Structure 1
Amino acid sequence: MARDTDGERTPLLNSASSQGLALAQSVGTLLTNWWLWELIEACTSIIALAVIVVILIIYDGSSLPDWPSVFTINSVISFLSTISKLSIVAATSAAVSQCKWLWYRQAEPRRLQDLQLFDDASRGPWGAVQLLFSLRARHLAFIGAVVVVLANFFDPFVQQVVAYRSRSVPSGKAPEIVKSRVYAARSDEGLPLPSVVDLSMKAGIYNGVFDIKDNADSGISHTCSTGNCSWRDVSSLAICSRCVDITSQVEKECTDGKCHLLYIPNGPTLSGLGGQINSSTTNISSELQSIEPSVLRFTSLLSKKVSDPNDALAIECSMFYCIGRYTASVKDGIAEQRLLASWRNDSARLDTKTDLILNPPTSFSNESGAEPYRVTHLAAHALNSFMSETFTGSGGINNSGSAFSSDVMQALYDASNLTRRIENLATSMTNSIRGQDDNVSGPAYGTAWTSETYVHVRWAWLAFPAALILLASCFIVGVILETSYRDILVWKSSNIALLFHGRSLRLSRPNEKPVNKLSAMTSRATNIKARLVDSDTEGWKLDQDE
């Protein structure tokens, strides 16, 4: 510390020290004699809530922030809400304490007991509840007591603002799903096969026919690293199907009310009792005549009820080459796909020497300038021959057993929904075509999804804390204005003010002027000593030590 030759402080330091002391005294006086401290607390509460709102706006809908492990959004908001609550409650409590002086300033005398009610109300919710029942909205302090009581619900409401939810977000390498622009029968070594159905297509046919759950959609070849992926608008060469019910065209020959012959003119025939199926590649329905280019067209006549020869079901189905547009997804490792739309060229015909070309309009495939879809004539001829042979046959069951010309006939007979089974067959065959590496199209790429926890802000829960702070702020401003209007000094919760201004109390010496400001009373009280004594005449008294 700088000193002069006499060991005293320099005039400059003396001046600075005096100015600093005067400033500190001015601020201290302002804090004691006015509402500066309470206004700071109210502003602190508002600012803390505003910071909470800003944080929530920033992180609403975002993934969890990468903060140090000791900090979370909940912990930060809890800390700020505690500051906001404590600040506004402290300011409100001071205003409630000031209300007791407003209460006794009125014209009519008030019960001395009310002094304790106001004091208790400024200290906690139980005292505030007692004051509520006592005042019954007859005084401004009623609002302050309501704020003190409701402040206990501040934290629970703020804690409900932030919720953590899960959502799917893109992640990792783009998944792949097969598609194809070309179908050509090939061996396992990749060599073209002459007029022979390749084994992969045969497997697709048998899988589709024998799949009792009709779940060929899940068999599409794909890669999905996360177990949850999606693809949209995947166009590929495909096999489509359409079936029509032609049961109304079944003719019956009956004797004595019992039918012994069921047949379709120029089509399959059943004789004897039920429990039979007969399938052939005859063309019956005019609805399917225009559908090309055909893979297979067949008619099946069934009579499943052995004891009822009148039972009959006739279905004709057409399977044909088409261009399919699919949407596909993998959820929890299980693949699904759905046909959005299909396109076919009814003017195209299969030829033994020329490949089948399918060139859909750009409006369908959104692939302008791409190479057209193609089915080689050898593969088309081989598949047509194999399908015609496979879906021609008969069989049935009776009391002694069953006999079918092929397992395919038994599968068609056992199908609970033959139309759905043929649709499943078409899907399985399509999967086989798409699974071939045609060296033209390559796979379709989609999006891999992973689960992410994100911040969801429920803004409605902030309404209560915001309304409470607003109500408290209005109450504090009202008490300030009322105090000024009634020309009452700001004594708040001071017990010293009560001791100095009770008429039965004499804390001032005869030669001392009375003091009214709280800072002056506090200053004088520092030089006054008292003790609690018990006298025989007056009982317990707080006695000033002379």
Structure 2
Amino acid sequence: MAPLLRRPARAHGIEQLDRRHHDENEDCSYPPPSGEISDKKQPLDITQKLEKKLAELNASENVFKRWIYELITLAIAVTCMASIVVILSRINGTNLVVRNIGITAFTVLSKITSAALLLPTSEALGQLKWNWFNGKRSKEMWDFEIFDKASRGAWGSMLLLFRTKGRSLAALGALLTLLLIANDTFFQQVIEYPQRWSLERNSTISRIVQYNPENSVEYGSLQEVEIRKADESLRSTMESFFYKNGTQPISAGNSTRPDIPLSCPTSNCTFPEYKSLGVCSKCADITETLEFRCMNATADWIPRVPFSMNANKYIYPNTNMCGFYINATSDSPILMSGYTTAAINTSTIQAPSGQALMLRMIPLEDPIITYQSYWGGSIKFQDVGNKLISTIVVAARDGIESVYQNKTPIAHECILAWCVKTIKSSYQFATYQEEIVSSFMETGNLTSPWTSQDLRLPELNGTDVIYNRNISIKPPNDNDTYGMTNLTHFNVFALFNDVIPSYLTMDNATAKTKYRYRIFRVGPLYRRTEMKPWLPPNSVSHHFERIATALTNQIRSSEAREMVLGSAYEIETFVLVRWEWLSFPFALLLLCIVFLVATMIKTSRGAGKEGPGIWKTSAMPALIYSLPNDAQKQFTSPQSANKNSGDARKLRVKLHPEKGWRVSGHVYSPTTPVIVCASNQPPPGWI
């Protein structure tokens, strides 16, 4: 029977239709309105086609087809993880600049892996939602929303974990959803970018094997008698140590400049152990050789001592002196520290009493001034060969007052000798560091190499002094022979004639100091200096060490130097793979596989008529199956919702694939939805 069309009342521009209900068995088909419905089917868009294809796969009898989409994404995750392992193994330990492409690929693949693992997890978790309501017992209706939120994010996953108390397969999916949030963090920790030094090129540093610089020669007569001059290239350096505190490092940036030639093209250079000719020092305490005496002796330290041209020597007076003597019991005692107790009044010298000797340095082998050798040239170091100098340094312990108080002075024997040093050097960030690994000094050669003879010429009188031995040092296990000629040795030795012998005196406690030096020169030479490097509390031993180092550096800087090749390193950033951080992503991958397979097995058992169907995260079942009218009113009616909201949330339901939602406590539950026709319902398209 066709519906009756009435003229409706207009309300807000919409015509109201009076509908009359038909019986349930009455035919509900309506003829289509004329000219409005065509037999031509409307084409589906791309998304509709994709959803239709997925629906067909979900309805398949084959379990693998039903889950093909999730299996493909899981395979993508496995492939990405395998690719990540291959890429990391290739770029591990390589230069960052070279491997930027590999690092980019790793970053992209890690993102794809996390996304690919999230999809099958959420789909499987969504499917377990329908199985949850398809069990033997009814479930609280509010679980539907918890499951739905769990398939979409972390908050719902946390609620689901508490709801299931971890005793359901869905709890594993919720846990994986939470853990996948941290997956990117672990991927970020896999690659570290530390820095290391890489070899870039060569560096060089100087050493010396044979030191024979060119030295000028002066001629003192028409017969061209050679007068040897001290090594001019070393003089300025040695004078700074003789009268001052030595050379000081030259600042270069935040550090100091090295004292030897080297080339370091980068900020970090190392050199292999190398050997070089150098100067070594040794000092020993000889206080036990001093004796305190008050006696009449030669006052060879008194200032303004006259020089006799006829005798070709200084005329030293005798006077009473108290102090510490060396060789006190011999015929020639030498006062090392003390003071005069009587005035000196001769035709050539007038000096008051109380003059104090503060510092004295005497050579133990003196071929220039006295032409004598004391104690075989050394007291403590007689077995050392190739000595450059050997001297005794005696200094007042605590100024002139300690001299008048007869306090024992500080006495050392110190030597400088040619040696071969084994050196380990490095140059880092403009800072040069040098370590003397070992030093080799030859022993023996105890006979004195010095000879001298008077030289009498019409225009020149003097003494011809000759050093008769070339310096030749042959360290064990070394093919090189280190040293110099006898003339070169003499030129270096001549530098020390300025201060050895020498002495520092004071006329009284309030007078200024007088330093008498260059004794070999005719006429008095003095300096107004305190000679602090040689006086306590400064260390004489340390000062000699510095002299030896300065001499070594100077001869290594000469034109005869050789360059040793080293390595120059530069900082580079490289890739370091920390494989242990991959354990978490691999564990998630394994758990996702287990979770998906377990879900496939569980859902395949109920895939028949009694099962919920393969809906996954689809919302279609919520539209297809509806609740009973009285159950709907508990949520749609404002009065009921406010009054019975607690009871509504506790409503227990069960999903039946044919009968729809079965509600606990309701006599009637809807069957599969059927469109009911009303007698007053107009055909589709009618107004």
TM-score (norm 2): 0.61
- How far apart are 1:501 and its partner, in Å? 6.1
Query: Which residue in 2 is equivalent to 1:133?
Result: 162
Please say if 1:356 is aligned against 2:396.
no
Task: Give the Cα–Cα distance (whole angstroms) in 2 for the partners of residues 383 and 118 of structure 1.
Answer: 96
Counterparts of 2:606 and 2:118, CA distance in 1? 24
Deviations 1:219-266 (A, max 9, x none): 112222224322111211111112223345554569xxxx97345556
Rate the CA distance shift 1:475–1:181 in 2: closer, same or farther, 3 A: same
Which of these residues, 532, 557, 577, is aligned with residue 457 of structure 1? 577
1:344 corresponds to 2:441 = yes
Structure 2 Cα separation of the partners of residues 188 and 323 of structure 1: 27
Aligned pairs (5 A) from 1:351-430: 351=449, 352-362=467-477, 365=478, 368=479, 370=480, 372-395=481-504, 399-405=510-516, 409-413=531-535, 416-430=538-552
Offset of 1:207 from its aligned partner? Answer: 5.0
Distance 1:497 1:333 in 2: 76
Match of 1:322 among 403, 415, 419: 419
Distance 2:236 2:116 in 1: 76
Q: Distance in 2 between matches of 1:375 and 1:415?
A: 36
Residue among 197, 217, 235 paired with 2:275? 235
2:121 matched to which residue of 1? 92
Deviation at 1:122, TM superposition (A): 0.7
Cα RMSD for the two superposed structures = 3.9
Separation of aligned partners in 2, 1:276 and 1:141: 98
Q: Contact 1:208/1:429 (CA < 8 Å) preserved in 2?
A: no
Kindly indicate whether residue 589 of structure 2 is the aligned counterpart of residue 469 of structure 1.
yes
Deviations 1:49-86 (A, max 9, x none): 3323332222222212346xxx6555433322211111
Cross-structure match for 2:206: 178
Secondary structure of the residue aligned to 1:226 is coil
User: Structure 2: which amino acid aligns with 1:235?
Assistant: K
Could you tell me which of 16, 38, 43 is aligned with 2:75? Answer: 43
Kindly indicate whether residue 96 of structure 2 is the aligned counterpart of residue 64 of structure 1: yes
Give 2:17's aligned residue.
none
In the TM superposition, 1:98-497 aligns within 5 A as: 98-172=127-201, 174-187=202-215, 195-206=228-239, 210=244, 218-247=258-287, 249-252=289-292, 261-265=323-327, 269-271=336-338, 276-282=358-364, 286-306=379-399, 308=402, 309=405, 310=407, 312-348=409-445, 351=449, 352-362=467-477, 365=478, 368=479, 370=480, 372-395=481-504, 399-405=510-516, 409-413=531-535, 416-438=538-560, 442-484=562-604, 489-497=613-621
Is there any run of 5+ residues in structure 2 with no aligned partner, and where? 1-52, 218-225, 251-256, 295-320, 329-333, 340-353, 365-373, 450-466, 518-528, 630-656, 660-672, 679-683
Inter-CA distance 474–248: structure 2 relative to 1 (3 Å threshold): farther
Secondary structure class of the residue paired with 1:160: helix
Q: Which has the larger radius of gyration?
A: 2
- Distance in 2 (CA, whole Å) between partners of 1:423 and 1:304 is 21
CA distance in 2 between partners of 1:251 and 1:467 (Å): 87
Percent of residue pairs identical: 24
Q: Residue 56 of structure 1 aligns to which amino acid in structure 2?
A: L
Q: Could you say if the C-alpha distance between residues 139 and 213 of structure 1 is closer, same or farther in structure 2, counting changes exceeding 3 Å?
A: farther
After TM superposition, the score normalised by the length of structure 1 is 0.75
> 1:250·1:263 contact (CA, 8 Å) conserved in 2?
yes
Between the aligned partners of 2:57 and 2:618, the Cα distance in structure 1 is: 20
SS in structure 2 of the partner of residue 186 of structure 1? coil
Report the alpha carbon displacement of residue 410 of structure 1 after superposing the two structures with TM: 4.0
State the AA in 2 paired with 1:150: L
For the residue of structure 1 that corresponds to 2:87, the secondary structure is helix
Distance in 2 (CA, whole Å) between partners of 1:50 and 1:208 is 71
Q: Secondary structure at the match of 2:472?
A: strand
Matched residue SS, 2:273:
strand
Aligned-partner SS, 2:424: strand
Which one-letter code corresponds to 1:245 in the other structure?
D
* Offset, 1:401: 3.5
CA displacement at 1:287 relative to structure 2: 3.8
Partners of 1:196 and 1:379 within 8 A in 2 = no
Q: Which moved more, 1:27-36 or 1:478-487?
A: 27-36
The one-letter amino acid paired with 1:113 is: W
Q: Distance in 2 between matches of 1:130 and 1:154?
A: 21
Give the C-alpha shift of residue 155 in structure 1.
1.9
Gaps of 5+ in 1: 1-21, 506-513, 517-527, 536-543
Change (3 A) 1:26 1:124: closer
Q: Residues 62 and 400 of structure 1: is their aligned pair in 2 closer, same or farther, counting only changes over 3 Å?
A: farther
Alpha carbons 1:215, 1:424 under 8 Å: kept: no
SS of the aligned residue for 1:157 comes to: helix
> Larger % of helix: which?
1
> Structure 2: how far apart are the matches of 1:53 and 1:232?
40
Cα distance in 1 between the residues matched to 2:262 and 2:231: 21
Report the 3-state secondary structure (helix = DSSP H, G, I; strand = E; otherwise coil) of the residue aligned with 1:471: helix
Mapped partners of 1:490, 1:377: distance in 2: 105
2:444 counterpart letter in structure 1 = S
SS in 2 for 1:61: coil
CA distance in structure 2 between the partners assigned to 1:66 and 1:188 by the alignment: 59
How far, CA to CA, are the matches of 1:305 and 1:455 in structure 2?
63
Give the Cα separation in 1 of the matches to 2:139 and 2:57.
35
- Within 1, Cα distance between the matches of 2:185 and 2:578? 13
- Give the total of aligned pairs: 474
Task: Kindly indicate whether the alpha-carbon contact (under 8 Å) linking 1:281 and 1:388 is maintained by their aligned counterparts in 2.
Answer: no
Compared with structure 1, are the counterparts of its residues 529 and 89 closer, same or farther at alpha carbon in structure 2 (3 Å cutoff)? Answer: farther
Q: Write the distance in 1 (CA, Å) between the matches of 2:584 and 2:216.
A: 72
Q: Quickly say closer, same or farther: Cα 1:66–1:74, change in 2 above 3 A.
A: closer
CA distance in 2, matches of 1:467, 1:251: 87
User: Do 2:206 and 2:261's aligned partners in 1 also have CA atoms closer than 8 Å?
Assistant: yes
Query: Which residue identity does 2:77 align to in structure 1?
Result: S
* Aligned mates of 2:136, 2:200 — CA distance in 1: 76
CA distance in 2, matches of 1:110, 1:396: 113
Residues 26-37 of structure 1 mapped to structure 2, 5 A cutoff = 33-37=65-69
Paired with 1:87 and 1:268, the residues of 2 have a C-alpha distance of: 98
Alpha-carbon separation, structure 2, partners of 1:449 and 1:271: 59
| Structure 1, 213-222 or 175-184: larger mean CA deviation | 213-222
Could you tell me how far apart the structure 2 residues matched to 1:113 and 1:188 are?
109
In the TM superposition, what is the alpha-carbon distance from 1:94 to its structure 2 partner? 1.0
Equivalent in the alignment of 1:524: none
**2-structure distance, mates of 1:275, 1:39:** 102
Q: 1:181 to 1:28 in 2, by over 3 A?
A: farther
Q: Mark the CA change 1:399 to 1:46 in structure 2 (over 3 Å): closer, same or farther.
A: farther
1:31 CA displacement: 9.2
Tell me which residue corresponds to 2:8. Answer: none
